[in-house]
Every structure is written in structure tokens, then in C-alpha cells.
Structure 1
Amino acid sequence: MRLPSLLAGLLSAAVLLWAAGPGPADAAAPEPVPPAASAAASGASAGASAAAPPASAASGAEADTELVEPPPPPSPAGQRVYEAARGTLVQVRTLLKAQDSQATVGSGFLVSPEGHLITNFHVVSTYALQPTSHRLVYSTADGGQGALQLIDVDVAHDLALLKPVQADAFAGRGALSFRPATLALGRGERLYSLGNPLDVGFAVAEGSYNGLVERSFLPTIFFGGSLSAGMSGGPTLDAKGRVIGVNVATRRDGEQISFLVPGQYAKELLERSRGASPLGLPAYPQITKQMLVHQEALTKAFIALPWRNAGNQRYAIPVPREDFLRCWGRSTPPESRGLEFERSDCNMDSRVYITSGFSTGFISVRHEAYDGRKLGALRFAQRYSASFRNEFMGANNAYLTAPQCHERFVDRGGLPLRAVMCLRAHKKLRGLYEVAVLVATLDQSTAGVQGRFDAHGVSFENAKALTEHYLNGFAWTDPKTASR
């Protein structure tokens, strides 16, 4: 896929001036730079993305493969809820078409008299993308088995709608109903999560409602309970057996911290596709259409956020508000004798799972403010330039093209910037791109700021808009600053 003309359009939209010399795209690709704050240091940054709602689907998938202890026995109330819902529960498995070896396993539940059932998209994604080499099957709590077909997906909310191949396979089993949206949940209200943990049998795990996850772009329920591997796609019910949400992910760096997709999205998927025909081909067209809607909403929401003060005395640096991102910072220790820096990393917890090892639909922003007065101008220039070149922009793989990068100088109200913009195209999700923008200030001989912006899974037009928005975030803190 050829991208030079697209890049030229993106860069011209940002009103950049040509710069001499090769950029990172012309040099040998270095090793990726590690994130600023580890999960152990930050207590969340890396861990959040590992189990990010709404099942940063990667986290949801990992939640289904990591072995953990089964949930404790339920209370009498939990037993009543389970027994009432038992006939509507299924285990969903993806098998290789030519044999019975399973590729994925999760849970699901009936939501219509016609036999429609809901599960997570990440439970069936292998089949959804490779239907010619895989098949879907179900098992019920009383030993029933059969084949399933995929009706539709909601990839942004990690949901899938299925139906049995045999039309009357679930006849007489009933269906779970959704709790009306007008009946608000109280914080601490008892909830009951159902599924097949660790593939050892259907069970119920009790927990509590703790509101919606804060700073999440997509609404996600914080469930104060344990979700074990294999329970993804199962229902979480209130005391009257009504669906509150769909099990989707759990945090492995904490206890009793799990996440649910709000039931309203499962209900909307059912209502939208109840009469739809099965998907017999790879679901890339449906996923692409949904991702284009998702990225449009994400771009508008992000650009609407004003940049906040980074606390730098010389520069205005684009640091996003934490409405749906989490920012973590670190700096060199006070006794440091060499290059000193302060670093900020801002990342979204919410990511859209596409397949194992590949998620998209999120934004990240970071910067590093360097002070090299202890090094002197020559040594600082070497370190500063090396840091800029060390940025990894990706490589050609099964999902994305190799990056096409252009480098230019940018003038932001008299503040000289060196800017590199790289664009990668999605191979299967046509019309979506990954854009990375790398910026360095050039006005000082022993100090400066370098920043990086990444947007994953956006249209070309929104890649342009986001690039311009990011570059506009750099400026002097005060016009007088330029003379210092």
C-alpha cells in the first residue's frame, strides 16, 4: 500500500516547512523505548492496559487464559439466582474446523426465545476473522451440545450475537431479561456473575456494583468481585435475575477488581440484529464500519479537550486532561549528575480488541523535558539527538504496513520545532491508519522538550486533524520567554 501522497497531504495540512537531513525512518530501527512508568512503579499504567475496560479486549483475552483460583461458594441468594438462570447459560468454544482442538473458550447466555445468545467478541474473534478454518460450538449446563453461528458483532464494546445452527436447539430454555435503564443501581448493590470458570463447570461468583469506571472513554461497570478465566461473555445479574452487564475483564494487579460491559449495549446489539442472517465471511467489513464510527467519536472528544498546563516555565507542552486518559510522571533523582529530565505518559485504558496480539482505537501522549546544563552543549546535543532517533515507529506485520515517515521543521509562533510524522495503514481494516507524531524543540543548546503523540485506528482526515491539534499545543509559555 502506497502512502506518500497521503503523508504529503497530512503534513501540508499541519503547515510544516521542509527540514534537511534524514529522520528516524531513514535510520535502522532501534529497539522500542520502554514505557515511562512500569505497573509496579505507577500502580496502574501498564496494569491498566493489561485489563483495561471495556475489555481492552487484549485484557479480556488474557483474562481467559491465565489460571486463577475458582470463585468461593455462593450464598443462598446467589444459589437462587443461579438456579433460575441455569438453563440460559452456555459455554462457547471456538474449534479448529478439521478437529476438536479448541482455540478459545468462554461463556454466553440466552437473550431471546428464538435462541439468540450474547458473548464477548474476544471469545469468538478467531472464528469471526477466520470462519473457513474454525467453527463455533456450545455446551449447556445439562450436557446439551451443538453448533453455533455468528450473527453480528459490536467490536467497540467487545460483544457478539450468536444463534444455534439447529433452530429449536434452545427451545423451552427461556431467556434472560435486561434490567431497565430507568432502575438505577446503588453503589454496593449485590450482583451475581455467572459463567464457566477454568472450564470446570458452571458457577456463580458474587460481588458488588461500584459504579462506572472513572476516566474510561467507553462506559464500563466496575464489578467488585472475582471473574475467573472462562467466565468472559457470561452474564452478571441483579438479585431478581436481570442482566446488569456482560463479564469482560479483571485486573491481575489487584483483588476483586473486575469489569462488565453495560447490559444496554448487549440489548442494543440484540435489537439491531435480531433478524439478521449469519455472517459466513470474515467480519472485517463489519468491524471496519464500526471502528470508523468509534474513531470519529474518539477524535471529536479528544480535540474538544483543552490542553492543560504541563508546569514548564519556558514552554506550553500539550498534555491532555484526564477525562478518559490516565497520566503518570517520573523524573531523574535529585542527586543525578548527568542529563536530567521530567517525563509524562498519558494513556487510555480503553482499547478495542481485534484479535490476539492486536488492539486499536486508542490515543497516547507523552513528553520528556530535558535539562543538560551539567553536560554542556556538545554532549547534550548528542544525547538529545540520540533520544529523538531512538523512537520506534513500528514495522510491517500481518495487520499494518511499514511506516512511511516525513520530517520537517515547524514554526509555532517563533518556537522552532523538529517534527516527524509517520503513518501506517491497516491491511484488513481499510481506511484506518495509525499515526505517530514526534516533536523536539530546537531553541536551546542545553535544554529542550521532546513529545510524542500516537493515535491508533483513525481515518486519514482525523489523522490530519489530530496531528494539527497536537502541534498547536506547543508554544512559548509567554511571548517574553523567547528572548530568554
Structure 2
Amino acid sequence: MQLFRHLVVSCLVLFSFIFSFQTKANEAEALFSNYSPALVQIKCINIESGQKSSIGTGFFISESGHIVTNYHVISNFIQSPEQYRLELLDNNEQTHIVDVVDIDVINDLAILDAKQPWPVHFPLASEPPTKGQEIYSLGNPHDLGMIVVPGTYNGIKSKSFYKRIHFTGSINSGMSGGPTVDEFGNVVGINVASAGNQIGFLVPVDRLFNLREQALETLDVKKEEAFFVERITKQLTENQSALFQDLIQSEWPLYSLGQAKVPNELSDFMPCWGDSNQDKEKELYTAASTNCALNERIYLSSDMTTGHAQMGFSWIHSDKLNELQLATLFTQTLNRQYSRNNAGQDDVTDFYCQEALINNTLKTTSKGISCVRAYRKYPGLYDVRFHSLLLDKNDQTLVGRYVLQGVSETTAQSFFTKFVESISWN
């Protein structure tokens, strides 16, 4: 009798699973059937070769023909409009030329115009789903055709300055810019990135509401290259101000690294990691290091990202090396490459560097090297590198470094002051 009950329960559980699976499959099929005419592929075409340089997904949000996709899908056109054109491929394999209405590089969004009415479009959700709710990502992965990927809404990504939805589901290349919808077809987010292993990220739909309102103000403005340069400059300037205001105005926690005192995590969205050589018995010196960095960057083009900050320290001590050997080791550590060069000669000027002795109010002296380069297209924005060597002790030093990308002169100066005033010997 007991065995019979277990069999009945097992059958009921299996039936429930099969029924739930079939229900979800039916929902996905219905969504795709209802909204497939509003789902399109976006292509950026190189005019000279006639071949696509990038592809992504787009979706209609109005009967008037407005389409949403990611900024990075169309970035080649925005950066070099004389070399590229934009096309959409609809569900009937028909090609249409599209224009750009407006962009948001901070949230990686763009609104396009098909220049004709479109009968089917996606509605936008007025409120976010509940955590754990089933949602569906739509797109064209690897140019294989439009698909529906079921997944789970896991709320807003934690420890991030930029607001992103954590989606448990596969978002692959080519799905960028596609909609993620609830069971009724309401758009809750826009596909933007993947970390692999069923971890995806979406731009929340409220960011699209903001861009749509902004776009409505300039519908009658002719969209030439200068318009988008001005847009990007304004967005980057406002974003760096908000980002670094958070970092600079906060109380920097300090901790001991060797015999020096240095800043620790400046914010929960700028985590720190550490390392040392204590497991290497034959080393002639002791070294311990820490590195803190933002997890995200702002994409401008395939050659350039910005909106990043990185800070690190290396404490070095030795009672085995002579004075010349120590000086060589300290200099090599000071000049070590820190962060990547993420822009070309067309994007930025060469770095201009200055070297100086720096005294702070904690009565420590550093040798500092400060390097700055300007953005060619976006006036008033700079990349900054700073390396310093803490002096005053013969057998040890502290190397401090930071990199700031896309900051104003005021932000760069404020960060420099706070940084040098936060370092001292114990």
C-alpha cells in the first residue's frame, strides 16, 4: 500500500512537471506568433564592401515605426556615418533602410525610425516583474534566426553603478537589442550582455522610457554627426559627474597593506582583490598588492570604451637587496603597465606626463607621475593615469596607481587630492 502511494505521488509530480513545461512552451510559442512581425534584425552595413559589419536585434515600440536596439549594434554608423548605413530585415525577409532618432550610450540604447507605419509593436511594461517570475528573451543568436529563450527575472544586479536586470537565461551574440517580455508580451527589459553560464543582463525598460521622452523633443531636428557627438559628450559628462561624485564624496575606508595605510573599497560597486608572494620562499623581497576596479565600462566603439576607474597598491619590503637593487625593483614596479590602452590615435591625443615630489598633510612624501590625454571628439573629457612611489624609508616602499577614464578636469583634480591625502606609513 505504501509503495502504491509513492507511485501515485511520483506520477502526480511528473505530470505536474510535464504540464508546467508544456504550458511554458505554449506561452513562448504564442508570444512568438503574436509579436514576430514586430521583431527585426538590425544590420550595420559597410558601404564600400556592401557587407554587414555588425548585427543585432530590434523591436518596434510604436505604430509610427520607431524601433529599439542597443547602441553598440549601430555604433559604427554613429562614429563613422560616411562609411556605414543601417538596415532592418523584417520577418518576411524584406530589407528597409532606417534612420537613427536618438541614442543613450550610458544605457546602451538607441531608437531608430523605419520611416513607415508598422502595424504590430510591443507594449512596454509599466512596472517590473516580481523576483523569480518567468520572462522571455527574444532575438537572433549568431544570425541563426529569431528564437525565444525562457528565463527568470532576478531583480536588479547588485553592486553596480549602472542599473541592469539579472536574467537567468542564455543571451547570445546577435540577440543584443532584442526585447525580454513577460507572459503577456510587455517589454520588461532590453537584452544587452551575457556573462555565460545562463547569466544575462538586461537594460530595465524604465531607461527606455527616459530615452523615448528625450527623443520626442528632437523629432524635427536633422540628425547629423554633430548632433550625436553633442549627445554623447553631454551623456558622458553628466555620467562621470554622478559616478565620481559618489566616489569622491564618500568616506574612504583605510586598511594596512604591509607597513603602509591605503584606501580600501571606495564603494560596493568598486570591489577590491589582493595578492602576495608569501608562498615563494626563494624571493629576496616581500610583496603584497591590492587592486580595485569598477565592473563595467561604457561602450563607445569597437576601439574605445570609457567610464572606468581602477586603483591599486603594491607594498614592497626587503632586507636582502642592496640599495641599487631596491631602487631598480621600485622603479620597475612604479613603471609597470596598469590598465589597458583602450583607444586609438583617432580617438584620443597622446598622453602628456609630468613628474613631481608630492607632500601631503600626513607628512609623507611621494614621487608622482601624472599622465593625461584628451578625447578628440568629446571636448572636456580626459583619461588620467597616476603612479606614485612612497618615499622616506630605505628598505620598503608603497607604489600607488589609479586610472580614470572619461573624466573632467575638475573630477581628475578632486580624485588626485583625495588619493594622495589617503596614503601614509603606519
Q: Same fold (TM over 0.5)?
A: yes
In the aligned structure 2, how far is the partner of 1:375 from the partner of 1:153? 57
Higher strand share: 2
| AA aligned opposite 1:360 | T
Q: Determine if the alignment matches structure 1 residue 446 to structure 2 residue 395.
A: yes
Q: Determine if the alignment matches structure 1 residue 119 to structure 2 residue 99.
A: no
CA contact (8 A) 1:381 1:446 kept: no
Cα deviation digits, residues 358-404 of structure 1 (max 9, x gap): 10011111111112223244322221122213346969722111111
Q: Which has the higher contact order (CA 8 A, sep 6+)?
A: 1
Cα deviation digits, residues 141-196 of structure 1 (max 9, x gap): 2323211001110001101110013x33x2x22x2122113xx4322211100011
Superposed, 1:212-227 pairs within 5 Å as 212-227=156-171
Residue 309 of structure 2: which of 334, 338, 363 is its match? 363
In the aligned structure 1, how far is the partner of 2:256 from the partner of 2:172? 43
In the aligned structure 2, how far is the partner of 1:361 from the partner of 1:263? 22
Report the equivalent of 2:105.
155
In the aligned structure 2, how far is the partner of 1:132 from the partner of 1:388? 43
Structure 2 residues not aligned, in runs of 5+ = 1-23
Structure 1 residues not aligned, in runs of 5+ = 1-73, 478-484
Query: Once the two structures are aligned, what percentage of the paired residues are identical?
Result: 29
Report the equivalent of 2:40.
90
In the aligned structure 2, how far is the partner of 1:259 from the partner of 1:326? 19
Partner SS for 1:310: strand
Superposed, 1:136-155 pairs within 5 Å as 136-155=86-105
In the aligned structure 2, how far is the partner of 1:248 from the partner of 1:111? 17
Larger CA deviation: 185-194 vs 383-392: 383-392
Partner SS for 1:206: strand
Cα deviation digits, residues 119-162 of structure 1 (max 9, x gap): 00000000111112211000112323211001110001101110
Residue 257 of structure 1: which of 199, 205, 215 is its match? 199
In the aligned structure 1, how far is the partner of 2:32 from the partner of 2:284? 62
Please report how far the alpha carbon of residue 227 of structure 1 lies from its aligned counterpart in structure 2 after TM superposition. 0.7
Residue 81 of structure 1: which of 20, 28, 31 is its match? 31
Q: Determine if the alignment matches structure 1 residue 424 to structure 2 residue 373.
A: yes
In the aligned structure 1, how far is the partner of 2:144 from the partner of 2:41? 11
Residue 463 of structure 1: which of 405, 412, 415 is its match? 412
Please report how far the alpha carbon of residue 111 of structure 1 lies from its aligned counterpart in structure 2 after TM superposition. 1.0
In the aligned structure 1, how far is the partner of 2:229 from the partner of 2:308? 19
Structure label with greater radius of gyration:
2
In the aligned structure 1, how far is the partner of 2:37 from the partner of 2:344? 47
Report the equivalent of 1:330.
275
TM-score by length of 1: 0.78
| AA aligned opposite 1:321 | L
What is the Cα-based RMSD across aligned positions, in Å? Answer: 1.9
Report the equivalent of 2:266.
321
Partner SS for 1:381: helix
In the aligned structure 2, how far is the partner of 1:217 from the partner of 1:442? 35
Superposed, 1:373-384 pairs within 5 Å as 373-384=319-330
Cα deviation digits, residues 34-70 of structure 1 (max 9, x gap): xxxxxxxxxxxxxxxxxxxxxxxxxxxxxxxxxxxxx
Report the equivalent of 1:340.
286
Q: Determine if the alignment matches structure 1 residue 198 to structure 2 residue 135.
A: no
CA pair 396-157 structure 1, distance change in 2 beyond 3 A: closer
Report the equivalent of 1:389.
335
Residue 211 of structure 2: which of 264, 269, 272 is its match? 269
Please report how far the alpha carbon of residue 201 of structure 1 lies from its aligned counterpart in structure 2 after TM superposition. 1.1
CA contact (8 A) 2:247 2:267 kept: no
Stretches (4+) displaced over 3 A: 390-396
Q: Determine if the alignment matches structure 1 residue 405 to structure 2 residue 353.
A: yes
Please report how far the alpha carbon of residue 98 of structure 1 lies from its aligned counterpart in structure 2 after TM superposition. 4.2
Larger CA deviation: 80-89 vs 193-202: 80-89
CA contact (8 A) 1:118 1:233 kept: yes
CA contact (8 A) 2:304 2:344 kept: no
In the aligned structure 1, how far is the partner of 2:299 from the partner of 2:258? 40
Cα deviation digits, residues 341-366 of structure 1 (max 9, x gap): 11111111121100002100111111
Partner SS for 2:414: helix
| AA aligned opposite 2:188 | I
Q: Alignment length, in residue pairs?
A: 396
TM-score by length of 2: 0.88
